[in-house]
Amino acid sequence: MTEHTFSVVAPLTKLKSSQEDVLPAVKRPVPLPHELRFLMPTTAGLQPTKTTLTVPGQPVPRPSRVPSIPPPQLPGSDQDISQWNCSQQQRIWMKTELELMGLWPGFIPVRKLMKMVSLWRFPPQPELIDSISDLPSPKYFQLHPFFIWKPENDLMARLRNNDTLPCIEGCAQAQIVSAGVGRPRVIVGITGQYYLFSSRLCCKVCRKRWYADNAVWLEKLPKRFTNLLPAILTYKKAICKSVMDELRRTGNSPTDMAKQIMEMMHLKYERAHLAFLLTCQNVMDGEAGKYDLRTITQFIRQETKPAAFGEYGDSGGWNGISVSAHYLTDCLLHEYQHQEGAITKLLQSTFGQAFRSDHTRKVARKVTFSSGTMSSYAVTG
Ligand SMILES: [Zn+2]
């Protein structure tokens, strides 16, 4: 455990040279430095599609933008990040993160991951990025975290523990391999939105392909895998476990909960906007000589006004999503159906007759866990 376990972020050039020392024979494409990525022209015809529900037998899409499974992709188009259902800066940042972690084809990890790895990736702190002569770009302030979900990858080898992953079709002797880098799916959380980045898988026996967040496949996975997931995933819906916990804990109606979530998500957006404006102000104050020495950047800089931050739902900017009470109700019902057996068992066999009957309410039981925490389950009938 002597080598590079605790290496910290260093300038890209330095990292590259130290990498070449270790692996001189490996040829890999040199990524464009992160700072320059935004200079790249965006792909023509790149219009991020609006997130709408695709419910079979329901012709009219709902007005609110709710998370759903992105449209199916053609084989081979998987690495074309313009297909990802998120903003362009989110795509670029996620791709860069995956490259740095060696999770992108042709890239090796910049840092030795060892055991010090988190599946959560958080955006850089834009205020700390040195923007030498220009006003800051709002793009750095418009990123959401993402969670990497790649059960087939070496990243999760410890979890697989020599076991083989199941085939979605239930093939015997299944051999599950990666069939592309995957794609992100937006998730509503209690403190904002994030993306679940799931790999694309293929069974070598039946040639079937699917995404690792497929609800049918997740059902077949051992608990030790699915337990890691921060979200509850169904065929059509995806919701953070934190939202379900909060619904259960507070007993609030889905309407109240939807309002609470939307308020929080808009608050996050406003805060990001404010952070952007303050950073702009900081640059301009420096140039105005407020911090003793006048800088010369004002003579170099082209723009005199900060770029517009954009609206909440701006698909090229913050790309905020909406969640409806209807959506939450569906998720709650699914989750209850899913856990009904376990809850009934818990109420009946573990605590059995010890419950005092309360006829004034339908049934809402407080359940004490071994940790001493209380949790209430609303059980009808
Ligand atoms: Zn198969």
pLDDT, tens only, 115-159: 678 999 999 998 888 666 678 899 999 999 999 999 999 889 889
b/e sequence 288-316, b meaning 16+ C-beta within 10 Å? eeeeeeeeebeeeeeeeebeebbebebbe
Mean pLDDT, range 321-331, rounded to an integer: 91
Structural domain contains residue 10? no
Structural domain contains residue 236? yes
Cα 209 to middle of ligand 1, angstroms:
9
Cα 186 to middle of ligand 1, angstroms:
28
Cα 224 to middle of ligand 1, angstroms:
22
Structural domain contains residue 40? no
Residue 344 scores a pLDDT above 60: yes
Cα 78 to middle of ligand 1, angstroms:
20
Residues with C-beta atoms within 5 A of ion ligand 1: 167, 169, 171, 203, 205-206
Cα 16 to middle of ligand 1, angstroms:
40
Cα 173 to middle of ligand 1, angstroms:
8
Q: Which of 293, 243, 11 is nearest to 130 (CA)?
A: 11
Give me the number of domains the chain comprises. 1
Cα 200 to middle of ligand 1, angstroms:
14
Q: What is the pLDDT of residues 93-123, one digit of tens each?
A: 999 999 999 999 889 888 776 667 899 999 9
What confidence score (pLDDT) does residue 92 get?
Answer: 95
Torsion sign, CA atoms 338, 343, 345, 350 = positive
- Spatial distance between the Cα atoms of 217 and 199, rounded to a whole number of angstroms: 13
What confidence score (pLDDT) does residue 210 get?
Answer: 96
Q: What is the pLDDT of residues 202-215, one digit of tens each?
A: 999 999 999 999 99
Cβ–Cβ under 8 Å, residues 112 and 3 = yes
Cα 202 to middle of ligand 1, angstroms:
8
- Spatial distance between the Cα atoms of 89 and 379, rounded to a whole number of angstroms: 44
Q: Which of 58-62, 183-187, 341-345, 367-371 has the lowest average pLDDT?
A: 58-62
Sheet order of strands, 192-198 included: 120-121, 146-149, 192-198, 183-189, 238-240, 231-233
Structural domain contains residue 370? no
Top-confidence residue, 260 or 367? 260
Cα 73 to middle of ligand 1, angstroms:
20
Structural domain contains residue 32? no
Cβ–Cβ under 8 Å, residues 340 and 332 = no
Structural domain contains residue 214? yes
Mean pLDDT, range 283-295, rounded to an integer: 80
What confidence score (pLDDT) does residue 7 get?
Answer: 39
Cα 13 to middle of ligand 1, angstroms:
44
Cα 220 to middle of ligand 1, angstroms:
13
What confidence score (pLDDT) does residue 153 get?
Answer: 92
Top-confidence residue, 306 or 292? 306
Residue 12 scores a pLDDT above 60: no
Cα 183 to middle of ligand 1, angstroms:
21
Residue 348 scores a pLDDT above 70: no
Helix extents (H) in 128-187: 157-160
Top-confidence residue, 342 or 53? 342
Structural domain contains residue 2? no
Q: Give residue 96's domain range.
A: 62-332
Cα 221 to middle of ligand 1, angstroms:
14
Structural domain contains residue 360? no
In degrees and rounded to multiples of 5, residue 193 shows phi and psi of -95, 155
Task: Provide the token pair at 125.
Answer: 């702190």
